[in-house]
Amino acid sequence: MSKRLQVILDDKEMRAIQRTAKRQQMTVAEWVRQTLRTARWHVPLTDTKKKLGAVRAAIRHEFPTGDIDRMLQEIDQGYQTNTPS
């Protein structure tokens, strides 16, 4: 379902947005949608302190691991085995 968003802009700002959208060969609506999507990607989903705490906790542990080339080979083999015919 689509929702409508109404934003009030002064004339000067609206003209600037219209010019920008026109330069990019898109409608104002599409320019606004793309700009909002881009802005949303730059906002962290979680608190930075919480993320850093999780990373710091993880690096205190030691886990078994293997040779990276061997692991990549096994991953590739798994993809080949699970590919539908």
**Structural domain boundaries in the chain:** 11-81
How does pLDDT run across 50-67, given as a tens digit for each residue? Answer: 889 988 998 888 877 788
pLDDT by residue (tens digit) across 4-54? 999 999 999 999 999 999 999 999 999 999 999 999 988 877 788 888 998
Q: What was the pLDDT predicted at 81? A: 80
Give which of 8, 5, 11 is closest to 29, Cα–Cα. 5
Share the mean pLDDT of the chain: 90
**Residue 83 confidence (pLDDT):** 64
Exposed, middle or buried, 26 (CB in 10 Å: 0-12/13-18/19+)? middle
DSSP code per residue over 12-51: HHHHHHHHHHHHTTS-HHHHHHHHHHHHHHTS-SS-HHHH
pLDDT for 62 equals 82
